[in-house]
A and B are shown apart, each in its own frame.
Chain A
């Protein structure tokens, strides 16, 4: 009994973050995903130190060379080292994933809080606009936005961020509707807290788990979207390396230099798979029913 009592006390004192982490580390898939993400983040941060060659340095003597000891991943149509380009390409992909979802969170969460908390016509108006944005298929709206804004990595990130916003508005609104009838929210309101304080101090912390899970999965979607836009020529512009634009070029040399298509695709696949695995793990770890 004494042992069980101590154990219960320890669990009761554990913070929600620590509890989620304890559950997350038990999930091998999620930990593997986190490990791969860590490696890619390090590659992106330390790219100038790790990459064996300059990623945009052309060399006419090494055009389309297959993988070798000098060039582990081979070279491309301008003689550039593919390993260096894949390493530097991680910057564009990770940046696009994180920045665009930060834009989506920055816009979506306050608007969702407003819709859920204010209710009435504010909610009705925001919900209809959200429905309308969700009715436009994700990539098509992102392409249209990027097309009108002009092709660049920055505009691609804005396009992806804005396109992903309605998902966060809808999620936040739904969560607020569920939470705002709870006793602690009623109590916070009853003691005279202004609505903004109730929303940010009492409601937001309680809906964070759902937002974290969605944000993680959305980073994966955003990375694919950036690669897709770059593949179509609407993202990162050459000669700066991006996995999507590398694949676009690789397609033209599929017969003579198939290795050009393998590495950037594999990199996108690995990073997206990792974010999906972490998202799945987080969903289970943050699920209150699993307590």
Chain B
């Protein structure tokens, strides 16, 4: 186990190095003089000179990269041109909002995806199975920003049950927070639920045809117990880890969901920064998102080995 952990951690080094290289290179895509692009509307030569000095644009690329990575490693992701605040401060302010949304989305998608997957496997080749599969296909194919807009129309404009947009933190007013986040969380969890449903269904079908389930049935156990205690418990192990690998999709989805519902999270930060040409923030958010995703992948791998006794040795 320790050897596996060591190896896995060692593999992270080149991946993180190349991630940093890719994100640093984004700056080179700016057409023309990067200082001019970064300055936005500003054309004052003194300001341009300051930008060149601040980002070391007058120095060779590798020097710029070394300084940038050095800054990142010491927690300095640069400064927002627009808000005049350190990028890291902005990210730490917005991250809890997206985290709340993502956690709620995960709970919703686990509830819908896993139960639908189990029912679909148990009722294989029946109308229920076909219906669940159709719903999953619908979930995968629906753009979440469209679903968000349609749900705002139904629940906020037409029925008036929920607010159309905005955000209230859970520590300010718990119920209002729930009211402002339930729709976006459902929208965010929708396609994730569909993916989980597909994984659960195939894992359950495999488990249901295994020897231990046949033995459990032969012992005369009730079907409910066979499904819930024997098949489902084994089937969920790969589902949980596969689910963790899909979390990157959830982070991508948050960008659009936060935009539709005007939620001041991580996703909205990157979009606002894009339009304000706040490139340091775009780079910072991309870097933090990629690192979070790499960390989640690592945790998923460890969890998989930890849960599966056959791999532990």
Contact = CB atoms under 8 A, between A and B. Distances in A.
Interface of A: 128-129, 131-133, 135-141, 143-150, 220, 224, 227-228, 231-234, 247, 250-251, 254-255, 258, 261-262, 264-265, 268-269, 272-273, 276-277, 280
B69 interface: no
Given A138-B249, A140-B252, 17 more contacts: A132-B14, A132-B22, A133-B18, A135-B290, A135-B297, A136-B22, A137-B248, A144-B26, A148-B26, A148-B282, A228-B143, A231-B145, A233-B275, A247-B149, A269-B142, A273-B138, A276-B137
A253 to B, nearest CB: 11
Contacts of B308: none
A147 B27 CA distance: 10
Contact of A148 (B18, B27, B145): B27
B138 A254 contact: no
Given A136-B286, A143-B274, A233-B275, A150 B146 contact: no
Contact of B249 (A137, A233, A258, A268): A137
Contact of A231 (B256, B282, B286, B294): B256
Nearest to B251: A137
Contact of B255 (A143, A145, A146, A247): A143
Interface residues of B, number: 51
A258 B289 contact: no
B19 interface: yes
B140 interface: yes
Contacts of B270: 140, 143-144
A268 B146 CA distance: 9
B141 interface: yes
Interface string B242-259: 000000110111011001
Contacts of B256: 139, 228, 231-232
Nearest to A131: B15
12 contacts: A128-B15, A131-B14, A135-B290, A137-B293, A139-B255, A147-B274, A149-B29, A150-B31, A224-B143, A258-B153, A261-B149, A265-B150
Contacts of B26: 144-145, 148
Nearest to B21: A132
A287 to B, nearest CB: 14
Given A131-B15, A148-B27, A276-B137, A136 B293 contact: yes
Contacts of B282: 143-144, 147-148
B307 interface: no
A261 B153 contact: yes
A166 B140 CA distance: 21
A132 B31 contact: no
B141 A220 contact: yes
Chain B interface helix/strand/loop/mixed? helix
A250 B274 contact: no
A131 B137 CA distance: 28
Contacts of B157: 254-255, 258
A265 B22 contact: no
Contacts of A227: 143, 145
Contacts of A272: 141-143
Contacts of B259: 231-232
Contacts of B251: 137, 140
Contacts of A150: 31
A144 B18 contact: no
A187 to B, nearest CB: 36
Nearest to A132: B18
A269 B149 CA distance: 14
A251 B260 contact: yes
Interface centre among B17, B150, B290, B297, by most chain A C-beta atoms within 10 angstroms, is: B290
Given A144-B283, A145-B26, A137 B141 contact: no
A233 B256 CA distance: 12
B208 interface: no
A128 B283 contact: no
A224 B15 CA distance: 27
A273 B141 contact: yes
A280 B294 CA distance: 29
Interface string B277-307: 0010011011001100110010000000000
Contacts of B19: 132, 135-136
B286 A228 contact: no
Interface centre among B31, B152, B153, by most chain A C-beta atoms within 10 angstroms, is: B153
Given A132-B22, A228-B143, A232-B256, A140 B289 contact: yes
B30 interface: yes
B162 interface: no
A135 B150 CA distance: 31
> Which 6 A-B pairs rank lowest in CB-CB distance, beginning with the nearest?
A132-B18, A265-B146, A139-B252, A273-B141, A147-B274, A148-B29
